[in-house]
Structure 1
Amino acid sequence: MKTRMAYYTWRHKAGAYALTLSAWAVLFFLILPILVIVPLSFNADPFFSFTKGMVHLDPQAYSTQWYTAIFHSQKWLLAIRNSFIIGICATLIATTLGTLAAVGLANDNMPWRRPITALLLSPMIVPLIIVAAGMFFFYSRFGLVGSFAGIIIAHAALGVPFVIITVTATLAGFDRSLYLAGLSMGASPFRVFREVIIPLIRPGVISGALFAFATSFDEIVLILFLAGPEQVTIPRQMFSGLREQINPTILAVATLLILVSILLLGTLELLRRRTERIRTGR
């Protein structure tokens, strides 16, 4: 009791408060430039700056015309559709392959486990420009450059490491005796995997899938190397808009992407709490 009471001195409390304040200051410094985009997306004038009317909170200085312009533009609608198609397909592939790889790597008896893990996680570590250049020269041999199949496979390769990491973290608390008990009762390995392992690691699988989707949805470097005129995605359309014609429509799209990111982060936090409850049994 005395040791515990001695820990909470005024110096420790001051240090804890200073650390909390520093963390909030860093967070504010990182988030503020992103939040500035939100009010600019409602600018009634086609400028990337705050007008006098916006500063004085004049209602006429704000407008939703740029959000309306998104859904009246064929280019933006095509980019949104392509982003969701590529993202969903790449997520399904990455989740399936990543989950199977994580389950296999969780076995301590698997030979060359660490080198294989390092190889599978390499797309996350190697600079993306190198990955994109390598994929371009490799895909050009098979005619996959400028095709949806090539982009989906490339995005799936980027998403697999995120699935492996999240599923592996979930498998760290998995009781392997449950798998052996299922086999001893006459069930096939596939049935045990489907009815025992998958329900227990589902939060990790869903978390990895969300990370894989976010990675694909926000990817621009691979798109610039591999995509053709028909594979325009939201990041590429934003990049082209900044080069050709600057207007606040890009800011409106960026605001919607921020909203999507917040929803994904909220979902991940709920899944994290559920995983903690499964581990602790509470």
Structure 2
Amino acid sequence: MEQVGQRKIDGLWLMVVGIAVLFFLILPTLIVIPMSFSGASFLEFPPTSFSFRWYETYFTSPEWMSATKTSLIAAVLTTAIATPLGSLCAYGLHCSTPRIRSTAQILVIMPIVVPVILIAVGVFSLYAKLGLNYTLTGIVIAHTALALPFVIVTVMSGLQNYDFDQELAARSLGASRAYALWTVTVPQVKFSIQTGAFLAFITSLDEVVISMLVSGGENATITRRMFNSLRDQLDPTIAAISTCLIVVSVGMLIGVQLIGRSKNADK
């Protein structure tokens, strides 16, 4: 009985700590969203009046809409490139020898470990020679490099629970490796691939450090314009844009989770 009681107490403490950590993480969001509906001409919390004027400012501004369009196009292209490349890389690493896999994994996670500012400086210097600064192509290439590790790690995690005997059985019956991969393996790890695609999209959409150096002019991203706006003039439009980004991110996350649940239910 004492052990059962101690376990309940330990579980209660863990729950309290977990709730406290979650609250700490979402607290900025809980502050930003009400601020976006403020009727004042400056950021205030709690807002003394409510208005949609800052959302109207955002959606009617050609500059903000141009930056949003650039960011969305870059995020979609980054996802379209990083997802298949990262998935194939994860598949190749999973099929390789343990020694090669462990070495390659270190190289794969380097873009995550290395400070982004160092990558940004290197990318900016390289792009200056190639003429890719302030171009959509340059933004997509840089964002893809940052998104690939998330796709690779996510898909490799899914492959850990996959029984490769299914693919081998298909190949033994005459299917080519590519056809067996597409028709047998990919459906089994589809949720991991979808999660990797989600992470790639969010990585590109939220990236700011590299975008500050390699984007600009007509190809300025939304995060770059937000940073410049914070530097030049602080108004609740930034809160309205942040709320929109939060809604997009949370909506996509919920969508991925619903897809995962429906897959588990089908099993």
The normalised TM-score by structure 2 is: 0.94
Map 1:1-282 onto structure 2 (within 5 A).
7-9=3-5, 11-50=6-45, 54=47, 61-109=49-97, 112-273=100-261, 277=264, 282=267
Q: What's the CA shift for 1:273?
A: 4.0
Once structures 1 and 2 are overlaid, which stretch shifts more, 260-269 or 212-221? 260-269
| 1:196-231 Cα deviation digits (max 9, x unpaired) | 111111111010000010000000111111113121
Equivalent residue of 2:235, what SS?
coil
Quick one: distance in 1 between partners of 2:260 and 2:150? 15
Deviation at 1:180, TM superposition (A): 1.0
Deviations 1:217-258 (A, max 9, x none): 000111111113121111111111111222111111111111
Work out the CA distance in 2 between the residues paired with 1:180 and 1:27: 43
1:203/1:274 contact within 8 Å kept: no
Distance 2:4 2:262 in 1: 32
**Which consecutive unaligned segments of at least 5 residues does structure 2 have?**
none
Q: Percent identity?
A: 39
What secondary structure does 1:8 align onto?
helix
Q: How many equivalent residue pairs?
A: 267
* Shift, 1:111, TM fit: 6.2
Partner Cα separation in structure 1 for residue 21 and residue 189 of structure 2: 34
Deviations 1:115-140 (A, max 9, x none): 22211221111110011111111222
In the alignment, is the contact (CA less than 8 A) between 2:195 and 2:256 conserved in 1? Answer: yes
Q: 1:141-178: CA deviations, max 9, x gaps?
A: 22212211111011001000010111001101111111
Rounded Cα–Cα distance in structure 1 between residues aligned with 2:149 and 2:3: 41
C-alpha distance in structure 2 between counterparts of 1:269 and 1:167, whole Å: 16
Residues 134 and 220, structure 2, Cα contact 8 Å, conserved in 1: no
1:271 to partner: Cα distance: 4.5
CA distance in 2 between counterparts of 1:188 and 1:155 reads 33
Instruction: Report the Cα distance in structure 2 between the residues aligned to 1:7 and 1:267, rounded to whole angstroms.
Output: 41
Structure 1: gaps of 5 or more residues: 56-60
User: Displacement of 1:7 after TM fit?
Assistant: 3.7
